[in-house]
Amino acid sequence: MGLFDKLFKRNKEQQEQKEALDEGLKKTKEGFFSKITKAIAGKDTVDEEVLDQLEEALVSADVGIDTTIAIIKNIEDRVAKDKYLGTSQLNRILQEEIMAILTESPSSEFERFDIPAGKKPYVVLVVGVNGVGKTTTIGKLAHNYKKNGKSVLLGAADTFRAAAVDQLTIWSDRVGVPIVKKDMGSDPSSVAYDAVESAIARNSDVVIIDTAGRLHNKSHLMEELSKIRRVIAKKIPDAPHEVILVLDGSTGQNALEQAKHFTAATDVTALAITKLDGTAKGGVVLAIANQFKIPVKYIGVGERMEDLQIFNKAEFVDSLFNLEEAN
């Protein structure tokens, strides 16, 4: 395949991903902006009533109280500075404020499914409660890494729930990558250790380890995750290289509560927000980015394996503001 063909294929894939993102954020966009349109209808300037209705629209999209207050305050300051600010400029200003919030969250290091030089195998620990799409996210991560030319191995360290091991095994078969697993009730840290050891022996590029999706209490969760991290570090001192917290975007503020628990229990380095295609609460991405200052690295916008996308702040905002209205 020549250079032109590779570039054409890459551009086509990027276009398809953007279209999937537009479609995935449609419910959030339509619900959010219908309220904004109502707020500014018949108005010549951005007044207190417009700001009140804008605040309501932000909260209803699960942007969160604190983040909403920050956005409204910044807009109020701009309105005060420019007395002739009209409602026609509100979308542009709002877009700029949302971009600023997302920019404040540290950016992900890679634009594609790649690994840093000298980090092989690249060890990824995946955490999150049951039902958020954790196992599915792991399968999609494995698919995308493999698609990008990386050899992948999975570790089924959620040994407290039989279905978790079975589900991950199905994904390993579907994607075509090996899996390390043990019987239900086995020590999760021993599975993690064996997975890393196997990845080293196989010369794998990436090893992705599932963990128990339970939140009995923070101390128990911390002990379990700390033990997994310690045994992994025995084989690779600087591992895990990434700890991804998976959150269900459709749960809105509940996702924020889960993030609080997990970030208190372990050193989360990146977030994956799933199920954004089935909700009008996509604004939770802003709340999470603003509150935790942890990069939103992946978002799920559909059922296909390709619909787990690396989060692009500019494209996310573009899809919210420039998506054509449905007929």
6 assigned to some structural domain: no
Q: What is the pTM (predicted TM-score) of this model?
A: 0.86
Q: Could you tell me the sign of the dihedral formed by the alpha carbons of 154, 156, 158, 163, in that order?
A: positive
Residue at a domain's end among 40, 75, 104 = 104
44 assigned to some structural domain: yes
The predicted pLDDT at position 146 comes to 95
| Residue ranges with strand state E in the chain | 122-127, 152-156, 179-180, 206-210, 242-248, 270-274, 296-300, 308-310
CATH number at residue 310: 3.40.50.300
The answer to whether 315 touches 326, Cβ cutoff 8 Å, is no
Residue 146: how many CB atoms within 10 A of its CB? 18
Do 50 and 135 fall into the same domain?
Answer: no
Residue at a domain's end among 50, 73, 104 = 104
Per-residue pLDDT tens digits of the chain, which is 327 residues long: 555 554 445 577 777 778 878 887 788 777 776 677 676 666 777 778 888 888 888 888 788 888 899 989 988 888 777 765 666 777 788 888 888 888 655 554 445 788 888 899 999 999 998 889 899 999 999 999 999 999 999 999 998 887 889 999 999 999 999 999 998 888 999 999 999 999 999 999 999 999 987 765 556 777 888 899 999 999 999 999 999 999 998 887 788 888 888 888 788 999 999 988 877 777 888 888 888 888 888 998 888 888 888 888 888 888 877 644 433
Residue at a domain's end among 45, 73, 104 = 104
Do 186 and 256 fall into the same domain?
Answer: yes
Do 163 and 243 fall into the same domain?
Answer: yes
- Residue 153: phi and psi, rounded to 5, are -130, 140
State how many domains the chain has: 2
The predicted pLDDT at position 326 comes to 39
The answer to whether 168 touches 139, Cβ cutoff 8 Å, is yes
Do 82 and 130 fall into the same domain?
Answer: no
Do 86 and 149 fall into the same domain?
Answer: no
Do 55 and 135 fall into the same domain?
Answer: no
The predicted pLDDT at position 58 comes to 85
1 assigned to some structural domain: no
58 assigned to some structural domain: yes
- What's the token pair of residue 90? 């509100």
Do 60 and 148 fall into the same domain?
Answer: no
The predicted pLDDT at position 111 comes to 58
The C-alpha atoms of residue 201 and residue 221 are separated, in whole angstroms, by 30
The predicted pLDDT at position 310 comes to 87
How long, in residues, is the chain? 327
Helix (H, G, I), strand (E, B) or coil at 126: strand
272 assigned to some structural domain: yes
- What's the token pair of residue 58? 């932000």
Residue with tokens 């195998």: 121
The predicted pLDDT at position 104 comes to 58
Residue with tokens 């109280």: 65
Instruction: Give me the domain span that covers residue 58.
Output: 26-104
114 assigned to some structural domain: no
The predicted pLDDT at position 281 comes to 76
Q: Could you tell me the sign of the dihedral formed by the alpha carbons of 12, 14, 20, 25, in that order?
A: negative
The C-alpha atoms of residue 200 and residue 114 are separated, in whole angstroms, by 18
CATH number at residue 97: 1.20.120.140
The predicted pLDDT at position 99 comes to 86
160 assigned to some structural domain: yes
195 assigned to some structural domain: yes
Residue with tokens 């503020």: 253
- DSSP, res 83: T
Do 185 and 155 fall into the same domain?
Answer: yes
- DSSP, res 160: T
- What's the token pair of residue 10? 């890459």
Do 151 and 48 fall into the same domain?
Answer: no
The predicted pLDDT at position 236 comes to 96
Do 75 and 127 fall into the same domain?
Answer: no
Do 179 and 66 fall into the same domain?
Answer: no
Do 304 and 233 fall into the same domain?
Answer: yes
